[in-house]
Structure formats: structure tokens, C-alpha cells
Structure 1
């Protein structure tokens, strides 16, 4: 897993814990991403319930605030757990993160029909496989572009805010963000090969990849919904 240590931006010495096999490490990452989609699916069922919609209409700010804080809190817990290599803390952080982020992501799927969801899911799966493979095959490239990706993402978000205020269609920025998060999938896959194979590292890497994948999925779904309308 660490054949590229010479070019890795990640300091492995700060994240040494009880090692697990590469196979188990990869299985944990894949399993946690799958669990994330299951949570989102359950969230979709809840958010389509008429009673929840009535509650959300009158408590939207508090619901969004709680889910946002829960997502950030989960990420912080997993980051601290990675530095300490604490398995219980990392799993606790993941549970907090995945329940809140998975739930808030399901709200973005609420208005979509099944054919659109299936198309977006298929496209997202293809992008994930392709860019995940690229992250492994071209580590030097992805090692160099993290700063560019972060800067570009910040710029696009600012542009989106301006377009939203002006009431201008944001389809173009959806395409840009799909491309950016596709590259983030490659970057996070590369990062997953640079850390020691431990449970806390697998949990954090799975969470990072799930965020990337969900952003790609939701933006593709947004593009499809706009084209259908």
C-alpha cells in the first residue's frame, strides 16, 4: 500500500496503529461506503413521508443545522481518531457522520424519480471506478493537484453563490463540480494507498470517498432533473 511513500504528502509516522491486511483494509472502505448508501436510501424513505415533510417545512433551519453540525462533528471525531488510532472513536465518528450526512443527502434525492436516480447512480459508479483506478495508476499526478482542486472548488462555490443570488441557471457549474469531485475521488483513492492499513485510517478514507461520490451523484442527478424539466 505504501509503494509511493517518497511522494506522499501524508505523514505515516503520525498514523501508526495496529495494522490489518490490505484485503481487510479495502473491504472495510468498500463496506462503509455501501453502508453510507444504505443510510441514504433509508433517509429517502423517511424524507418522502408526508408527516416528515410537514415537520421539515416548519423546522427546516433546525433540521439543517443539526445535520450540518453532526456531519462536521463526525469528521472531526474521525480525524482525531486517526491521529490517535482509536477504533472506538473512529467508529463513533463514522456513525455520527453517516447518519447526518446520509440523511441530508437524501433530501437532495427527494424530488427525483426512479429512472433519474438509476441513471445518476450508474454514471456515478462508472466515474468512481475510472477515477479510483486513475488514482492508483497515476499517483504522482494526483499528489500534485490537491491544492489546485481545493482552490478550484472554492472558486466554483463562490460563483454558484453569485449565480444563485442573480437567479441564473447553474447547470454549467454542476458539470464543473462533477469534474472536480471526480478528481477528488482519484485524489482520495491515492491517499488511501499512502496511509498504513489500519481500521481508523480505513474509516476516514471511506468517509472522504463517500463525500466525493455523493457530490458527484447529487450533481449528476441535478443535471438530469434540469434536462427533464
Structure 2
């Protein structure tokens, strides 16, 4: 049965307009993005099949170009469309942080960093540079590593902080393994960076470890 033949209250687009996007399942949201299905499958059927194939919505959204484009029913146009949607979401999240004290809404900061780093296949170390009122000056990816880890050089972090004239910063990196537990190396680099930045009077407010499904704050853990 085509989606157009469904009762209006069950069609994803109409359901979204009536009840809001949060009321939709992952498959229904994906079906709206897909717009049409393929032979023998409605957009919702295709969305369910894709979620089964990839394992989760996050895994589908994080798929590399080659994998995505070689999936039946997808392709280059859909990949470009998806990347545009994701980038708009990132920029919207960044704008919500631009003029506010990040400490007043730590969840928004963590949501933004999760969006930037949580789905990355390799380890990325980044910093959010802040002014004297804890407002975001810039987000910068400083080091990229393999899935086993990224080499972090305190001198380069200090140089970047001075270049941005930052008063403080938040450290962040992802764990592609999906486990957000801080390692001994994570605690060590936090200590080294805090000491190095302290010499130039720049505070480290937190170090966040991001995964696809969650995060850990070293500040909340009392590890700083």
C-alpha cells in the first residue's frame, strides 16, 4: 500500500505537522527525508530496511560517501542532500551558543559537540575557545588520529588558544569505540593541558569525551 493511501493521521508528514517531529519514529523521520520508496517498498518500508541494514539511524547518517551511495535506493543526490541537512543542524546548534554563557546551558554545549564529534569514525581532538564571559569564540579541530587515538601536543593547543585570544576553553574528543569512559591517557593529557594553559592564564573548564550514544565530563567526574 502506498503511503498516500494510509489514514492521514498515520502518514509521516501529516503526523509531523500535527504532533511535531519528536512524535515520529526514526523510520518515519527517515521516510520524510527519502520522500519516495523503491519498487515494492514505500518510503517507510525502505526506511525500516535501511535502519535494519545499518543498525541505527546514527550509523546511517555517519556512513561515508562510498558506503551510502552504493546502498540500494540512495545515491549521490541523497548523500549531498543529507550532508546539507547535517551541516545546517550543526550551524544552527553553533548559533544557539554564540551569544550565551556556555556554563548557563551545558547540555546545549554537549549536544553541539556530540553533533560535531560523536559519529566520527576516527579520533578527533578539538577545543571550544571562550571569551571572558564564557561565550564561544571558535570551535577548532586540532588533532586527528586513527581509531586507536590522536597525538595531542600541548604547545599547539596553547598556540591556538592565544591565536583566538581565549580566556578559557573546553577540551573535547570522541571515542569511536562507543565507550565514553576516560582512559589513563585522557586524564594525563587533561592534566598536561591544564598546566600548560595555566602558564598563560587560560582556564580549562572541562574535557568532554563524546560517543554516538553519550558523553562523559571529566569535570563532573572530579578528574580535573
Flag the structure with more relative contact order, 1 or 2, with Cα contacts below 8 A and sequence separation at least 6: 1
TM over 0.5: no
Could you tell me the TM-score, scaled by structure 2's length? 0.29
Computing the radius of gyration from Cα coordinates, the structure with the larger value is 2
Greater helix content: 1
